[in-house]
């Protein structure tokens, strides 16, 4: 399982990130102090570090200097909007720079992008008795193959990657339909109905009022 370290002096933010990344299938640990972060990095191996800049003990830039030789990808998450700070963070070797407040879905997407860049994404996704082999593009339920259309497969991957997170209809259309996007909720509804039936998710893939859908696992 992909291990992510969250370093932020605000525990509610750590908890929010942990909740959503854990729901997406990542294993998370968090600390609220710069020196505590360095100590943890010395003891454990992480696949990605989400790093605030303004921290007690040692700030994010100091920690970045320590991390750099370890070749662990870093995403800065900070309230500092100054362009010079962003440039400094990127020049120190950070892969991305996200300004607070941020959208949780955007954070999850940026995490996925960075992990893919470092070839650290998992090639197999699971949700209950459903398994998706991303490399083979093969879906099984209880070990038996399931045949899906391209759109159904795209929706399935998105839902599993964002387990327990409400996804907006517009997001689903843009991610799965792309340039074919059109605001026809009936089309999405029909695809979700078929996906529920094929995956046995009649009670798991729920509609979220005025938002979209959420896979509850």
Q: How far is residue 176 CA from its own chain's centroid?
A: 17
* Phi-psi label, residue 3: left if phi above 0, alpha if psi -120 to 50, beta otherwise: beta
pLDDT at 215 over 90: yes
End-to-end CA distance of the chain: 17
Q: How many C-alpha atoms does 88 have within 13 Å on its Cβ side? A: 13
Q: How many C-alpha atoms does 189 have within 13 Å on its Cβ side? A: 7
The tens digit of pLDDT for each residue in 39-91 reads: 999 889 999 999 999 999 999 999 998 898 888 999 999 888 788 888 888 88
**pTM of the full structure:** 0.61
Q: Verify cis geometry, omega within 30 degrees of 0, for the bond prior to 101.
A: yes
The tens digit of pLDDT for each residue in 185-209 reads: 688 999 999 999 999 999 999 999 9
Q: Is 162 helix (H, G, I), strand (E, B) or coil?
A: coil
CATH class of 3-117: alpha beta
CATH number for the domain running over 124-215: 1.10.10.10
78 bridge partner residues:
99
CATH 1.10.10.10 residue window(s) in the chain: 124-215
pLDDT score recorded for residue 10: 92
Three-class SS of 138-157: EEEECCEECCCCHHHHHHHH
Q: Decide which of 80 and 157 is more confident.
A: 157
pLDDT band at 159 (very low <50, low <70, confident <90, very high): very high
pLDDT score recorded for residue 185: 64
How far is it, in rounded angstroms, from Cα 205 to Cα 57? 44
Token couple for 65: 């200097």
The tens digit of pLDDT for each residue in 95-121 reads: 999 988 888 888 988 998 898 887 666
Say which range, 25-29, 83-87, 121-125, 161-165, has the weakest mean pLDDT: 121-125
CATH 3.40.50.2300 residue window(s) in the chain: 3-117
């Amino acid at each position: 399982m992909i291990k992510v370290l969250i370093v932020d002096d605000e525990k509610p933010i750590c908890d929010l990130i942990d909740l959503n990344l854990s729901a997406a299938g990542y294993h998370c640990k968090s600390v609220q102090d710069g020196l505590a972060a360095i100590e943890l990095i010395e003891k454990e191996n992480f696949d990605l570090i989400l790093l605030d800049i303004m921290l007690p003990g040692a700030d994010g830039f100091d920690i970045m200097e320590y991390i750099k030789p370890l070749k662990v990808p870093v995403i800065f998450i900070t309230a500092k909007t100054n362009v010079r700070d962003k440039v400094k963070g990127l020049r120190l070797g950070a892969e991305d720079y996200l300004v607070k407040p941020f959208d949780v879905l955007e954070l999850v997407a940026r995490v996925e992008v960075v992990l893919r860049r470092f070839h650290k994404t998992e090639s197999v996704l699971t949700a209950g008795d459903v398994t998706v082999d991303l490399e083979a593009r093969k879906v099984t339920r209880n070990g038996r193959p399931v045949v899906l259309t391209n759109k159904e497969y795209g929706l399935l991957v998105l839902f599993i990657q964002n387990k327990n997170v409400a996804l907006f209809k517009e997001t689903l259309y843009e991610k799965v339909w792309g340039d074919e996007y059109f605001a026809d909720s009936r089309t999405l509804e029909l695809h979700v109905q078929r996906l529920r039936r094929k995956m046995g998710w009649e009670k798991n893939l729920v509609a979220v009022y005025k938002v979209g859908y959420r896979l509850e696992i």
